[in-house]
Structure 1
């Protein structure tokens, strides 16, 4: 699968919903194909509607914002779904709360599970990239709704119409 598959997936979403052409991010979950597929499975069941990343990973002015679109790839790089960001909170790792842990939908959905899993994940990232991870590092907590494909979309009736406000 390649770049043309990504463009075709985005074009199908736009054609079906009338969303104007705009920039969108292309991501996969986790740091391995296996983790990407595991987390994507949670999205497909409706359990996962949040994701966390480190603020340090974004260029100035590039932090996601409500209304942004993200095209998600599976572990093999195949387009799987598109989400629209609905909420962003930036806070120290240790201040991430139970409601966000539940929105991430991983493990038992508890804050304890979230912290343990994300300490491991961000710890691997810190080791690879040579930075120090601690409980005060700023985390971007992103909540999203699935808008494509229609059978996964969060609202009844398939794909969600674009917002008039564009925000």
Structure 2
């Protein structure tokens, strides 16, 4: 998938580094969130800074790419980061929650769902989640394959 994208858009891959990952922390959630992206509704995601560090992953950069896989690890799309900012939990706004498009897209649903998610993922690595933890808020475009790519990609 990466080779096909790079061949079609060599100007977009000046930095050939990219990550391969999936949304969420289990197969069903990965598929659910990927479906939201494929439908065109979801164009943002949020991850704790501490989670990147715990996995040994580089922090995303504007213009960086990642291959999003389904819950079984099959690559489905290439995503390009277009906006990044750091925040804490109270600093997330309704516009970001709507762009993340989970549940009903409201800030209240975003807070409820992410509170549960980060409590679960932090506990799984032996940590305790706090609302003051730094969060990477990332907006993105789908850039490959062409049938899923955003028009402005």
TM-score (norm 2): 0.92
Structure 1 residue 62 displacement after superposition: 2.8
The structure having more radius of gyration, on CA atoms, is 1
Aligned-pair RMSD on alpha carbons? 1.6
Q: Does 1:141 align with 2:141?
A: no
Distance 2:79 2:27 in 1: 19
Structure 1 residue 15 displacement after superposition: 1.2
Q: Residues 50 and 128 (structure 1 numbering): CA distance in 2 closer, same or farther, change over 3 Å?
A: same
- Structure 2 gap ranges (5+): none
Q: Does 1:13 align with 2:5?
A: yes
Q: Deviations over 1:72-110 (max 9, x none)?
A: 000111110001000011011121111110110111100
Distance 1:77 1:61 in 2: 17
Structure 1 residue 38 displacement after superposition: 0.3
- Structure 1 gap ranges (5+): 1-8, 161-167
Distance 1:25 1:96 in 2: 25
Structure 1 residue 21 displacement after superposition: 5.9
Q: Quick one: which of 71, 74, 84 aligns to 1:78? A: 74
TM-score (norm 1): 0.84
Distance 1:58 1:128 in 2: 14
Q: Secondary structure at the match of 2:82?
A: strand
Q: Which residue of 1 aligns with 2:39?
A: 45
Q: Which residue of 2 aligns with 1:130?
A: 126
Q: Is the 8 A contact 1:14 1:21 kept in 2?
A: no
Aligned length: 149
